Amino acid sequence: MVQAQGLLGGFPCQGASKAGAQKGLQDNRANLVKHFWRLWGTCPHQLDFMLLENVAHIISDNLREIPDYLLEESRRRGLEMKCCTVDGHMLGAPVWRQRVFVLIKQPGFQFGQALPTKKWMKGSKSLPMSKWLVGSRSPDDRERIAGVGNVVIPLMAFFAANILCDRT
């Protein structure tokens, strides 16, 4: 059986979004971030990393409790933490939606060679996701797709992982 190497995911953004109540960890939905630590602690083997995603607003001054909580838990467990922001538009997608990616990892852990290369990330028109998003669809289709926004998060996660692993 293949063992999981890490956790990937996000927690509901309503507690941190500018469009939401901005209650931070007092919002039950944002409080779900704590379940990532529960999963980390209950895994039968040692995980190497956790890559979390959420709206960029979680690093604003009035919501610092979320990244502070992640940093405190990381330090308590002897883990390293880095974060960066990525905008879907940086990757050629028709969205201006910033996301924060937080990498929490075991000291010394490095991702393998499976991450995209520097050349792939340079805003090339051959990016598979951006080709799909803005390809030969009608203007109405592109407008609807642009409103979705979240479809580019996996591509943004690859880009963020490269930034966080100093591969840019």
Q: Quick check: is 1 in a domain?
A: no
Q: Quick check: is 17 in a domain?
A: yes
Question: pTM value?
Answer: 0.74
Q: Quick check: is 82 in a domain?
A: yes
The answer to whether residue 94 scores a pLDDT higher than 60 is yes
CATH number at residue 152: 3.40.50.150
Q: Quick check: is 130 in a domain?
A: yes
Q: Quick check: is 117 in a domain?
A: yes
Instruction: Taking residues 119-130, report their average pLDDT.
Output: 43
pLDDT number for residue 104: 93
Q: What is the mean pLDDT of the chain?
A: 74
Count structural domains, the chain: 1
pLDDT number for residue 136: 42
**Residue span of the structural domain in which 135 resides:** 6-164
The answer to whether residue 132 scores a pLDDT higher than 70 is no
pLDDT number for residue 141: 55
Q: Quick check: is 69 in a domain?
A: yes
Q: Quick check: is 83 in a domain?
A: yes
Instruction: Taking residues 25-51, report their average pLDDT.
Output: 85
pLDDT number for residue 72: 94
pLDDT tier, 32 (very low <50, low <70, confident <90, very high otherwise): confident
Residues β-bridged to residue 103: 51, 82
